[in-house]
Structure 1
Amino acid sequence: MYSKTENRVREEKLKKLPPRTSTEKKLQIIREAALAHFDRRVSDRDIWNSVLSKNFLPRPAQFLWKSIHNAHKIGSYWTHIPECGDRAVCQECEALEDLDHILIKCKCPGQALIWAAAKNLWLEKETSWPEVSLGTILGCGLAEFRGDGGKTDRGTQRLYQILISESAYLIWRLRNERVIDRNGEPAPDEEITNKFKFAINQRLQMDKILANRPRKGKLPALAPALVLETWSKTLDDEQSLPQDWIREPRVLVGSRAFPPRTPSRRDDSRGIG
């Protein structure tokens, strides 16, 4: 651990260092996406602060932070290491396995299924799904949505940030499981969809717990109104729930938002319909 004085010295030294080219490229991608999709002109400080959003859980936030810093050991990282060049390439697509490829372009089961599920869930609440790109993913904490009269729609904004951050982090986890633990074998479609359902419903249950805590207590808490605004129009049998459903048991994100199961390639290889 460093003392406060040592931390200040280190911070001053870091300020004098030129920005890493790879990091600056990511920041520029995010700035362009924020302007194109959310009509926001943002600074580097805005971007770094957005990663600290309270709408992110720690691990997705850490994933976003490392992604902007280009700190993952993927793609071109391996091209500079002797006898490791093959790790730079996606074995399924035979393309450079950079972050853009993993999160958006890879043909392996995972990213397409998860983004489809996220889109379906979003469209339960909103009428259009913002374009998913590397810039909108890494800059999802900058997203702004406004309702009638130009007022910030807190619930919609928060749901978007939850969906994008959780989806991206899950895609990353599935990629690592496939490459490291499964020897390149992708997870079945049903398993992928179930993991997405679990991740989103886990966020809902956490919100309910935080909303039931006293706002002025020592533990983190959320305003019940914000939780209700976030998840409205996305729940199973929502019309039968009370207006304030936070204390109701067995409240789940609507299953109708998830795509029906389709046979995975593993199922096909075994002749299972």
Structure 2
Amino acid sequence: MTYNIKQQEKFKFIEEGNGEPLLLLHGLFGALSNFQHLIDHFRDRYKVVVPILPLFDLDIFHTTVGGLAKFISRFIETRNYNNIHLLGNSLGGHVALVYILKNPQRIKSLILTGSSGLFESGMGDTYPKRGDKEYIRHKTQLTFYDPAIATDELVNEVFEITNNRLKVIKIIALAKSAIRNNLGHELNQIQQPTLLIWGKNDTVTPPFVAEEFKKLIPHSELHFIDKCGHAPMMERPEEFNVILDAFLEKLKQPAATLA
């Protein structure tokens, strides 16, 4: 399904449906297509919003996790969203964490899946290998439990990024920023109900990372999806949506509490 990309000022985004905002943040090599199943499932009950993150458009000094969080802050203020269910995958989860720590008042709940912010094993050793498409294919496949999820279209998207010198510089800057920006000592400040959905076979942010997030974020619950890698909403969308559905429904109860 194709979606209408809207623009307001410098912000480009998808906005589908009505209700409380469900705002989705993609990762370092992510794209709007990562969330297709999620958008289609939730658009009947929520206002599903997917901003296009300016991974390659910020100046090099602001090409950081903090720079992206400021961008999201300006976007949310411009659109005047409130009672937001904020969901982030990989680097998008890290951006969501930085945002909620500075702007908790607009967020109703937090959903993290394969999030950086504590530990991540990235694609760092692939950056110098520009032009080696099969190597990029192999590393892209490692994102998933099932390598078939790494379609030719997805591999081509990653290859295009890693074959562009300026984009590679900015990818490296973002990756280094994510490693430096460890949030372990701040996570206990998050008071919103938090859902952690993790692939049991994630090799980028392994299961022990999810367990650490669960330990550090007070009102959090953790669900693992078996035979699933770093992007559960892409690889196991049906199971992902069932878990997220139950979490959001629980929040509608007057005295909602998380186990």
- Give the structure with the higher percent helix: 1
TM-score for both structures, normalised by structure 1: 0.24
- Give the structure with the higher percent strand: 2
TM-score for both structures, normalised by structure 2: 0.25
Structure ID, larger Rg: 1
